[in-house]
A and B are shown apart, each in its own frame.
Chain A
Amino acid sequence: AQSVAQPEDQVNVAEGNPLTVKCTYSVSGNPYLFWYVQYPNRGLQFLLKYITGDNLVKGSYGFEAEFNKSQTSFHLKKPSALVSDSALYFCAVSELNTDKLIFGTGTRLQVFP
Protein backbone atom coordinates (compact mmCIF):
# COMPACT_ATOMS: atom_id res chain seq x y z
CA ALA A 1 0.00 0.00 0.00
CA GLN A 2 1.10 3.54 -0.71
CA SER A 3 2.01 5.67 2.30
CA VAL A 4 3.95 8.74 3.38
CA ALA A 5 5.51 9.59 6.71
CA GLN A 6 6.23 12.99 8.17
CA PRO A 7 8.60 12.37 11.06
CA GLU A 8 8.35 15.83 12.64
CA ASP A 9 5.22 17.12 14.33
CA GLN A 10 6.64 20.63 14.41
CA VAL A 11 9.48 22.54 12.80
CA ASN A 12 10.67 25.87 14.17
CA VAL A 13 12.78 28.26 12.13
CA ALA A 14 13.78 31.90 12.32
CA GLU A 15 12.58 34.27 9.63
CA GLY A 16 15.13 34.56 6.82
CA ASN A 17 16.64 31.15 7.48
CA PRO A 18 16.19 28.19 5.14
CA LEU A 19 13.50 25.69 6.06
CA THR A 20 13.04 21.99 5.42
CA VAL A 21 9.94 19.92 6.12
CA LYS A 22 10.60 16.21 5.79
CA CYS A 23 8.61 13.51 4.05
CA THR A 24 9.45 9.90 3.23
CA TYR A 25 7.38 7.59 1.10
CA SER A 26 6.65 3.92 0.60
CA VAL A 27 5.11 2.95 -2.73
CA SER A 28 4.71 0.14 -5.20
CA GLY A 29 5.79 1.36 -8.60
CA ASN A 30 6.43 4.97 -9.52
CA PRO A 31 5.83 7.52 -6.77
CA TYR A 32 3.50 10.44 -7.43
CA LEU A 33 4.04 12.90 -4.59
CA PHE A 34 2.38 16.12 -3.47
CA TRP A 35 2.75 18.89 -0.90
CA TYR A 36 -0.17 20.85 0.51
CA VAL A 37 -0.37 23.73 3.00
CA GLN A 38 -3.20 24.49 5.43
CA TYR A 39 -3.56 27.93 6.99
CA PRO A 40 -5.74 28.32 10.11
CA ASN A 41 -9.45 27.78 9.47
CA ARG A 42 -8.85 27.09 5.78
CA GLY A 43 -8.87 24.11 3.47
CA LEU A 44 -5.71 22.52 2.12
CA GLN A 45 -3.99 24.34 -0.74
CA PHE A 46 -1.88 22.59 -3.35
CA LEU A 47 1.79 23.66 -3.37
CA LEU A 48 3.58 21.34 -5.80
CA LYS A 49 3.81 17.81 -7.15
CA TYR A 50 6.34 15.33 -8.50
CA ILE A 51 5.19 13.02 -11.27
CA THR A 52 8.32 12.47 -13.35
CA GLY A 53 11.33 14.39 -14.67
CA ASP A 54 13.54 16.77 -12.71
CA ASN A 55 14.14 15.81 -9.11
CA LEU A 56 13.80 19.43 -7.99
CA VAL A 57 10.22 20.61 -8.27
CA LYS A 58 9.27 24.26 -7.88
CA GLY A 59 5.90 25.32 -6.56
CA SER A 60 3.88 28.16 -5.14
CA TYR A 61 5.06 30.84 -2.68
CA GLY A 62 8.74 30.13 -3.36
CA PHE A 63 8.60 26.55 -2.11
CA GLU A 64 10.40 23.68 -3.79
CA ALA A 65 10.78 19.98 -3.09
CA GLU A 66 13.54 17.54 -3.83
CA PHE A 67 12.69 14.00 -4.90
CA ASN A 68 15.35 11.51 -3.80
CA LYS A 69 14.72 7.98 -5.00
CA SER A 70 17.59 6.35 -3.11
CA GLN A 71 16.43 7.82 0.20
CA THR A 72 12.70 7.54 -0.69
CA SER A 73 12.26 11.14 0.38
CA PHE A 74 10.43 14.21 -0.89
CA HIS A 75 11.44 17.04 1.44
CA LEU A 76 9.86 20.47 1.14
CA LYS A 77 12.27 23.41 1.17
CA LYS A 78 12.42 27.16 1.00
CA PRO A 79 15.64 29.21 0.93
CA SER A 80 14.35 32.02 3.16
CA ALA A 81 11.41 31.53 5.51
CA LEU A 82 8.72 34.15 6.12
CA VAL A 83 6.56 34.53 9.21
CA SER A 84 3.58 34.15 6.88
CA ASP A 85 4.79 30.63 5.97
CA SER A 86 3.69 29.47 9.42
CA ALA A 87 1.05 26.81 8.76
CA LEU A 88 0.38 23.08 8.70
CA TYR A 89 2.09 21.21 5.85
CA PHE A 90 0.97 17.87 4.46
CA CYS A 91 2.82 15.45 2.22
CA ALA A 92 0.68 13.09 0.10
CA VAL A 93 1.06 10.20 -2.31
CA SER A 94 -1.30 9.20 -5.09
CA GLU A 95 -2.63 5.68 -5.05
CA LEU A 96 -1.78 3.61 -8.11
CA ASN A 97 -3.89 4.34 -11.19
CA THR A 98 -6.21 6.70 -9.34
CA ASP A 99 -6.28 10.30 -8.20
CA LYS A 100 -6.97 9.27 -4.62
CA LEU A 101 -4.47 10.98 -2.28
CA ILE A 102 -3.08 9.44 0.88
CA PHE A 103 -1.94 12.14 3.29
CA GLY A 104 0.72 12.15 5.98
CA THR A 105 0.03 13.28 9.51
CA GLY A 106 1.14 16.83 8.87
CA THR A 107 3.98 19.04 10.16
CA ARG A 108 3.36 22.34 11.84
CA LEU A 109 5.84 24.97 10.67
CA GLN A 110 6.42 27.89 12.99
CA VAL A 111 8.52 30.78 11.66
CA PHE A 112 9.67 33.22 14.35
CA PRO A 113 10.40 36.90 13.62
Chain B
Amino acid sequence: DAGVIQSPRHEVTEMGQEVTLRCKLISGHNSLFWYRQTMMRGLELLIYFNNNVPIDDSGMPEDRFSAKMPNASFSTLKIQPSEPRDSAVYFCASSLGTGGPTEAFFGQGTRLTVV
Protein backbone atom coordinates (compact mmCIF):
# COMPACT_ATOMS: atom_id res chain seq x y z
CA ASP B 1 0.00 0.00 0.00
CA ALA B 2 1.27 3.49 -0.81
CA GLY B 3 0.17 4.86 2.54
CA VAL B 4 -2.08 7.83 3.17
CA ILE B 5 -2.01 10.10 0.13
CA GLN B 6 -2.77 13.80 0.35
CA SER B 7 -3.17 16.32 -2.43
CA PRO B 8 -2.09 18.90 -3.21
CA ARG B 9 1.22 19.06 -1.34
CA HIS B 10 1.24 22.84 -1.52
CA GLU B 11 -1.58 25.30 -2.05
CA VAL B 12 -1.36 29.07 -2.29
CA THR B 13 -4.64 30.91 -2.55
CA GLU B 14 -6.06 34.36 -2.11
CA MET B 15 -8.20 35.31 0.85
CA GLY B 16 -11.85 34.61 0.19
CA GLN B 17 -11.26 31.73 -2.19
CA GLU B 18 -12.49 28.19 -1.62
CA VAL B 19 -9.84 25.58 -0.83
CA THR B 20 -10.31 21.82 -1.01
CA LEU B 21 -7.80 19.40 0.47
CA ARG B 22 -7.97 15.73 -0.43
CA CYS B 23 -7.00 12.52 1.31
CA LYS B 24 -6.94 8.86 0.32
CA LEU B 25 -6.92 6.42 3.23
CA ILE B 26 -4.95 3.24 3.53
CA SER B 27 -7.00 0.33 2.20
CA GLY B 28 -8.82 -1.47 5.03
CA HIS B 29 -8.64 1.44 7.46
CA ASN B 30 -11.91 2.61 8.95
CA SER B 31 -10.91 5.72 10.87
CA LEU B 32 -9.90 9.03 9.34
CA PHE B 33 -8.46 12.08 11.08
CA TRP B 34 -7.80 15.62 9.89
CA TYR B 35 -5.15 17.55 11.85
CA ARG B 36 -3.81 21.08 11.51
CA GLN B 37 -0.27 22.03 12.52
CA THR B 38 0.95 25.57 13.21
CA MET B 39 3.85 26.98 15.18
CA MET B 40 1.50 28.74 17.57
CA ARG B 41 -0.98 25.98 18.32
CA GLY B 42 0.96 22.82 17.53
CA LEU B 43 -0.96 19.78 16.27
CA GLU B 44 -4.74 20.16 16.52
CA LEU B 45 -7.33 17.49 15.74
CA LEU B 46 -10.00 19.02 13.55
CA ILE B 47 -12.34 16.10 12.91
CA TYR B 48 -12.48 12.32 13.30
CA PHE B 49 -14.51 9.88 11.19
CA ASN B 50 -15.17 6.20 11.81
CA ASN B 51 -16.81 4.10 9.10
CA ASN B 52 -17.51 7.27 7.09
CA VAL B 53 -19.44 8.86 9.96
CA PRO B 54 -18.16 12.01 11.73
CA ILE B 55 -17.60 11.05 15.36
CA ASP B 56 -16.01 14.18 16.75
CA ASP B 57 -15.90 17.53 14.96
CA SER B 58 -15.33 19.64 18.05
CA GLY B 59 -11.97 20.79 16.70
CA MET B 60 -13.36 22.32 13.52
CA PRO B 61 -12.62 26.04 13.96
CA GLU B 62 -15.81 27.48 12.52
CA ASP B 63 -18.48 27.06 9.89
CA ARG B 64 -16.05 27.95 7.15
CA PHE B 65 -14.55 24.50 7.58
CA SER B 66 -16.31 21.34 6.42
CA ALA B 67 -15.17 17.75 5.94
CA LYS B 68 -16.74 14.83 4.12
CA MET B 69 -16.16 11.16 3.43
CA PRO B 70 -18.06 10.38 0.23
CA ASN B 71 -16.78 6.81 0.40
CA ALA B 72 -14.70 4.54 2.60
CA SER B 73 -11.37 5.44 1.03
CA PHE B 74 -11.55 9.18 0.37
CA SER B 75 -12.06 12.39 2.31
CA THR B 76 -12.07 16.11 1.63
CA LEU B 77 -11.55 19.11 3.87
CA LYS B 78 -13.00 22.33 2.50
CA ILE B 79 -12.44 25.89 3.65
CA GLN B 80 -14.83 28.48 2.26
CA PRO B 81 -14.03 31.35 2.36
CA SER B 82 -10.37 31.02 3.25
CA GLU B 83 -8.59 33.53 5.50
CA PRO B 84 -4.88 34.23 6.12
CA ARG B 85 -5.14 32.73 9.62
CA ASP B 86 -6.00 29.38 8.01
CA SER B 87 -2.42 29.15 6.76
CA ALA B 88 -1.00 25.93 8.20
CA VAL B 89 0.03 22.39 7.34
CA TYR B 90 -3.00 20.10 7.19
CA PHE B 91 -2.48 16.41 7.81
CA CYS B 92 -4.75 13.49 7.13
CA ALA B 93 -4.25 10.23 9.02
CA SER B 94 -5.96 6.86 9.01
CA SER B 95 -6.08 3.88 11.33
CA LEU B 96 -7.74 0.49 11.54
CA GLY B 97 -10.65 1.88 13.55
CA THR B 98 -11.62 -1.33 15.28
CA GLY B 99 -12.65 0.42 18.48
CA GLY B 100 -9.45 0.01 20.44
CA PRO B 101 -6.12 1.79 20.68
CA THR B 102 -4.15 1.57 17.47
CA GLU B 103 -1.57 3.68 15.71
CA ALA B 104 -2.51 6.18 13.04
CA PHE B 105 -0.63 6.58 9.78
CA PHE B 106 -0.12 10.10 8.50
CA GLY B 107 0.04 11.55 5.02
CA GLN B 108 2.76 13.96 3.93
CA GLY B 109 0.54 16.96 4.58
CA THR B 110 -0.73 19.90 2.57
CA ARG B 111 0.95 23.23 3.21
CA LEU B 112 -1.72 25.89 2.78
CA THR B 113 -0.84 29.55 2.40
CA VAL B 114 -3.65 32.09 2.22
CA VAL B 115 -2.52 35.53 1.10
Does A51 count as interface, using CB distance less than 8 angstroms? yes
Query: Using a Cβ–Cβ cut-off of 8 Å, how many residues does chain A contribute to the interface with B?
Result: 22
B109 touches A49 (CB 8 A): no
B79 to chain A, nearest CB (A): 20
- Is A43 touching B106 in the complex (CB atoms < 8 A)? yes
> How many residues belonging to B are interface residues under a CB distance threshold of 8 Å?
27
17 pairs, A vs B, C-beta closer than 8 Å: A34-B103, A42-B108, A43-B91, A44-B93, A45-B106, A49-B101, A51-B101, A94-B101, A98-B55, A99-B97, A99-B99, A101-B33, A101-B45, A102-B45, A103-B43, A103-B45, A106-B43
5 further interface pairs, Cβ-Cβ under 8 Å (given A43-B93, A45-B106)? A44-B106, A98-B55, A99-B97, A99-B98, A99-B101
